[in-house]
């Protein structure tokens, strides 16, 4: 898929920081023209510099994805500047760390509007253009938490579950009309992003991802791969596979385990000020980059991801070994 300029045109929401920032860089390293959507202008400017340094071309568009008109305007601007959108990546989130009953109703609504409705708004804007051409790919950035919810993140987990159901529904609608558009979901593990330092936290101690933790470049590679292969869904990290499959087999056991461990495992030993600046309603000043504060604990590679993106090789190798073993057995 290429634009009129000969380069892929990609839109990434949540592009100013975290996974979205790493995704923008990954596509740029392959020469893409990238529309960067996020609210924070300083972060967007940093993302623009990253994209251009990586070999791509960038268009920074301050956008609140919860507002469908802003998303539509941004999509129109991308196509006007770069040409037809080939790939749309929905990644924007806004998290509140707290027990559900301590989250103000307006905060819960706001988180849901960004995480879930932001994804729906991005998908709508992408489909409006892609259906006219009967081509394109939409990548929904999900989480293992879209299968197994955990305490202290009810709005985020609820949104990720909703995104999975929404995506399945849209996929079947596209299949009904024999569409050439592909929609896929990439389920992420815990990732070292700035969200744990800039999200709203009504907790005694600083939020942290539940180990094992991966650097954002790992899911960025998975998202790039998903955008170019017609796989329905991809799990990233052995932990994601274990969580998703384990929950299917032993959901009640997972409930009890998380009730016992889920609070402590999501907090460091350092206290957090509940009045610290957070990005729920407005961006936090500064360019926060892709990485959070957990570099030392984070993995830069995932053997599981390599295996899932090379499974045809593995299957072929396994069949070859089985055939050789069978042939050897017959000679005995």
| Per-residue pLDDT reduced to its tens digit, 11-47 | 999 999 999 999 999 999 999 999 999 999 999 999 9
Predicted confidence at residue 309, as pLDDT, reads 87
Query: Which residue reads 């920081």 in tokens?
Result: 17
> How far apart are alpha carbons 216 and 219 in whole angstroms?
6
Give me the pLDDT at residue 84, please. 98
Residues 128, 75 contacting (CB under 8 angstroms)? yes
Q: What is the pLDDT of residue 181?
A: 98
Is the model's pLDDT at 171 over the cut of 50?
yes
- For β-strands 137-143 and 182-188, DSSP reports them as parallel
Name the residues annotated as catalytic: 156
Q: What are phi and psi of 279, to 5 degrees?
A: -100, 20
Model confidence at 176: pLDDT above 50: yes
* pLDDT for res 274: 78
Counts for the chain of helices (H) and strands (E), in that order: 12, 14
34 occurs within a structural domain: yes
Q: Can you read off the two tokens belonging to residue 21?
A: 């920032």
- The C-alpha atoms of residue 111 and residue 303 are separated, in whole angstroms, by 33
pLDDT at 324: 47
Beta strands, E only, 197-257: 200-201, 205-207, 213-214, 233-235
Mean per-residue pLDDT for 284-297? 98
User: Is pLDDT at 180 greater than 80 in this prediction?
Assistant: yes
Q: Specify the range with the lowest mean pLDDT, choosing from 41-55, 135-149, 299-313.
A: 299-313
Residue 190 located in a structural domain: yes
In a domain, 318, yes or no: no
Residue 66 lies in a domain: yes
CATH number for position 274: 3.40.50.720
Question: Both tokens of residue 319?
Answer: 């069949």
Q: Given a cut of 90, is residue 2 above it in pLDDT?
A: no
Q: Which residue range is the domain that position 89 belongs to?
A: 9-301
Tell me, yes or no, whether 16 lies in a domain.
yes
State yes or no: pLDDT of 329 exceeds 70: no
Q: Which of 34, 5, 10 is nearest to 227 (CA)?
A: 10
The per-residue pLDDT for 57 is 98
Q: Are strands 213-214 and 205-207 parallel, antiparallel or unpaired?
A: unpaired
**Quick one: which of 100, 272, 270, 282 has its CA closest to 201?**
272
SS3 51: helix
What pLDDT, in 10s, does the model give residues 125-142? 999 999 999 999 999 999
Question: Strands 267-271, 205-207: parallel, antiparallel or unpaired by DSSP?
Answer: antiparallel
pLDDT at 315 over 70: no
Q: Which residues contact 132 (CB under 8 A, 6 or more apart)?
A: none
The b-or-e profile of 124-134 (16+ CB within 10 A means b, else e) is ebbbebbeeee
- Model confidence at 5, in pLDDT bands (50, 70, 90)? low
Q: Which helix (H) or strand (E) holds 255?
A: helix 251-261
Asked if residue 154 lies in contact with residue 197, where contact means CB atoms within 8 angstroms, the answer is: no
What SS3 state is found at 99? Answer: coil
User: pLDDT tens-digit profile of 186-237?
Assistant: 999 999 999 999 999 999 999 999 999 999 999 999 999 999 999 999 999 9
* pLDDT, position 331: 61
How many domains, the chain?
1
In the predicted model, is pLDDT for residue 322 greater than 50? no
Determine the pLDDT at residue 328: 55
Distances (CA, A) of 252 to 169, 191, 257, 278: 27, 26, 9, 34
314 inside domain: no
Q: What pLDDT does 321 receive? A: 47
Backbone φ and ψ of 10, nearest 5°: -125, 140
Instruction: Report yes or no: 85 and 136 within 8 Å, Cβ to Cβ.
Output: yes
Q: What's the gap between Cα 16 and its chain centre?
A: 13
Q: Read off the pLDDT of residues 256-280 as tens digits, 9 standing for 90 and up.
A: 999 999 999 999 999 998 789 999 9
Q: Which residues contact 215 (CB under 8 A, 6 or more apart)?
A: 191, 192, 291, 295, 298, 299, 300
What is the reported pLDDT for 305? 86
Residue with the two structure tokens 């941004």: 74
Task: Indicate the pLDDT class of residue 319, thresholds 50, 70 and 90.
Answer: very low
pLDDT confidence band for 312 (50 / 70 / 90): low
DSSP three-state, residue 229: coil
Q: Tokens 């896929």 identify what position? A: 184
Residue 307 counted as domain residue? no
Residue 320: inside a domain, yes or no?
Answer: no
Phi-psi region of 178 (alpha: psi -120 to 50; beta: other; left: phi over 0): left
Collect all residues with Cβ–Cβ distance below 8 Å to 163 and sequence separation of at least 6: 90, 115, 116, 119, 140, 142, 146, 185
Instruction: State residue 330's pLDDT score.
Output: 59
């Amino acid at each position: 898929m290429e634009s009129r300029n000969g380069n892929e045109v990609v839109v990434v929401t949540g592009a100013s920081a975290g996974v979205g920032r790493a995704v923008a860089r990954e596509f740029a390293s392959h020469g893409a023209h990238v529309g960067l959507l996020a609210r924070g202008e300083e972060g967007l400017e940093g993302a623009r510099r990253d994209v251009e340094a990586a070999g791509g071309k960038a268009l920074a568009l301050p956008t609140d994805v919860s507002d469908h008109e802003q998303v539509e305007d941004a999509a129109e601007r991308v196509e006007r500047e770069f040409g037809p959108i080939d790939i749309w990546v929905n990644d924007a989130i806004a998290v509140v760390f707290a027990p559900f009953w301590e989250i103000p109703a307006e905060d819960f609504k706001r988180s849901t509007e960004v995480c879930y409705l932001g994804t729906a708004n991005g998908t709508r804007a992408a489909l409006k253009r892609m259906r006219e051409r009967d081509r394109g790919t939409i990548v929904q950035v999900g989480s293992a938490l879209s299968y197994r919810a955990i305490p202290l993140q009810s709005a985020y987990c609820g949104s990720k579950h909703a995104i999975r159901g929404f995506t399945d529904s849209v996929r079947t609608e596209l299949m009904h009309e024999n569409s050439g558009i592909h929609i896929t979901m990439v389920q992420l593990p815990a990732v070292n992003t700035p969200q744990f330092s800039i999200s709203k936290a009504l907790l005694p101690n600083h939020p942290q991802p539940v180990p094992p933790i991966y650097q954002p470049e790992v899911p960025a590679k998975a998202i790039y791969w998903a955008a170019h292969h017609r796989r329905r869904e991809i799990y990233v990290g052995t932990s994601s596979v274990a969580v998703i499959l384990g929950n299917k087999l032993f959901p009640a056991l997972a409930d009890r385990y998380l009730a016992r461990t889920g609070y402590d495992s999501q907090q460091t030993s350092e206290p957090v000020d509940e009045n610290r600046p957070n990005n729920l309603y407005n961006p936090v000043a500064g360019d926060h980059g892709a990485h959070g504060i957990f570099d030392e604990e984070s993995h830069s590679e995932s053997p599981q991801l390599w295996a899932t993106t090379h499974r045809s090789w593995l299957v072929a190798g396994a069949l070859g070994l089985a055939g050789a073993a069978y042939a050897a057995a017959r000679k005995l």
